[in-house]
Chain A
């Protein structure tokens, strides 16, 4: 059984917007999966449902066989979520923020003190930020720095599933590159599956073992990036993406 099974997910926001119309997909353990699609397609909505923040109108999500709607507490022990609009408690230093996130997570899983301390050190290393920077309050951080703190803390706890909503948005070229390698490495070494979204198709091609293309709340294509490109008769993922969307909209974009 796959690590994550999303089945027939529908979401109508209070107010009537139908953001998802039957989304189904799977993520295997240790797999890196991308959810790509235009603005407003439903990526963030899907992530927030899996992360137990929103409830689906219908459909179901199983994480390691745990129904995230019925047993959100169990599901939360297995996942981490870094939202698209990244922030942080501005009164805390970067290091304190990491400690807080890592400790809250691992304590709930019943980890021992030493294990927690190691994870904190690991997270500190993963940020790629200097001790000096980590000693500063988050109110002095740039958006990219805050994202590095949260992604590092998320990956350091070795979750079964890490949900990263546009993890490289706002990061400089070097930091984005560092983060991509980090994601690959953590997935390979720790066996954490990563479900992420991105508007950078080069990044998706580099990172993803599997891509789901979502459009207006529906999955319209899926597969390994190479296969999607081939099937669409395109030269690269970006072109394939454009063709597939255009096909759906019956003409030009």
Chain B
């Protein structure tokens, strides 16, 4: 037993004195708790939308024959504490003042009394940053009314969303959102392997004792950086192609062979090009930042753990997709957001896509510059020791600050 105790204490010390192991312990908590907050916000938004909380609603009879039905709908919604009133005018004009306009079309009452399906037309003013809520609100209308109308199961809703200056059916919006999500998720398949391969390319130089040799060779440091970035991206692209192809096959299986190309037909050629440029810019950034961070570690394992930092913003990008895509210039500069704006360009327009891609390329340039500078200085071989000493110094200072 002494043997086990001694060995156990040795193994634990080996693991817990490794900064990257500590990082691997802490990161999941940070990540998932951030996710938790986002999901909580998302689900509260969706449930508010479903109960029509926070909407100002106008009910418009489409013909004199429908006035009574319209009044009834107003009453039903009021009974559910909705902020609603009867109004007249074109839905588009009314959307200036109301967030939700319910048009009772000619024939609605007749269909309902004859026991046929009756359709309401719903117009919704939605914001890009609350996409999930936007797609939930129309079914909220059905839900609330169905509870009040006897023949609720025959009630149908045809919903149009007024978003970012354009009107589209809720089906089209959902298709764009799922296509966009798919494209953003696909970028994860690129960014993670690229980052991991880049880490491998620095970590193995150190593990195989080749960094000193490499640095003494007559090669421009820029060439070293470039070749490492490109090879990480090429192999990363292979890994991504395999994941995406597998994913596609899986989806095709799940949707009974209905191909995903239905979704992607919504993108123009130009938008597709923007998407690929965004992915490339992101991959360049991921590889450069991972190479840079890897210089601060001593092994492949250490490098791969520390480069989690390089990929972390990609998760943020994926999460924003769940809640909605805020078109906010401050977000253009967040790494990997260009993939989000390029994927959602049918909704958000071209400006955010171009601006965020440009920002990403500039950031990549800065990281490459710093990396090449580090490679050209002795920091290439001393950075890991320096970081270690800094962390140790911090810990020692903290210990000294303890009373007693």
Contacts and interface: CB of A to CB of B under 8 A. Distances in A.
Interface stretch (B217-225, B254-262, B304-312): B217-225
A13 B382 CA distance: 9
A91 to B, nearest CB: 9
B381 A53 contact: yes
A79 B219 CA distance: 12
Contacts of A73: 218, 220
B213 interface: yes
Given A14-B386, A14-B389, A54-B378, A76 B218 contact: yes
A55 B374 CA distance: 13
Interface residues of A, number: 30
B389 A83 contact: no
B216 A54 contact: no
A85 B209 contact: yes
A150 B213 contact: yes
A116 interface: no
B213 A54 contact: no
Chain B facing A: main interface SS: helix
A76 B216 contact: yes
Interface stretch (A101-109, A187-195, A206-214, A232-240): A101-109
B378 A105 contact: no
B218 A108 contact: yes
A112 B217 CA distance: 18
Contacts of B389: 14-15
Nearest to B206: A87
Given A15-B385, A55-B378, A48 B218 contact: no
B377 interface: yes
A88 B208 contact: yes
Interface string A68-109: 000011001101111101111110000000000100110011
A51 interface: yes
Interface in A3-29: 13-15
A52 interface: yes
Interface string A98-128: 0001001100110000000000000000000
Contacts of B213: 81-83, 87, 101, 150
Max chain A C-beta neighbours (<10 A), residue from B204, B212, B377, B385: B212
A132 B210 CA distance: 24
B354 interface: no
Contacts of A55: 377-378
B28 to A, nearest CB: 32
A14 B385 contact: yes
Contacts of A83: 209, 212-213
A104 B210 contact: no
A79 B212 CA distance: 13
B381 A89 contact: no
Nearest to B214: A104
B212 A53 contact: yes
Contacts of A76: 216-219
Interface of A: 13-15, 48, 51-55, 72-73, 76-77, 79-83, 85-90, 101, 104-105, 108-109, 150
Given A52-B215, A53-B378, 7 more contacts: A13-B382, A54-B381, A76-B218, A80-B216, A89-B210, A101-B217, A104-B219
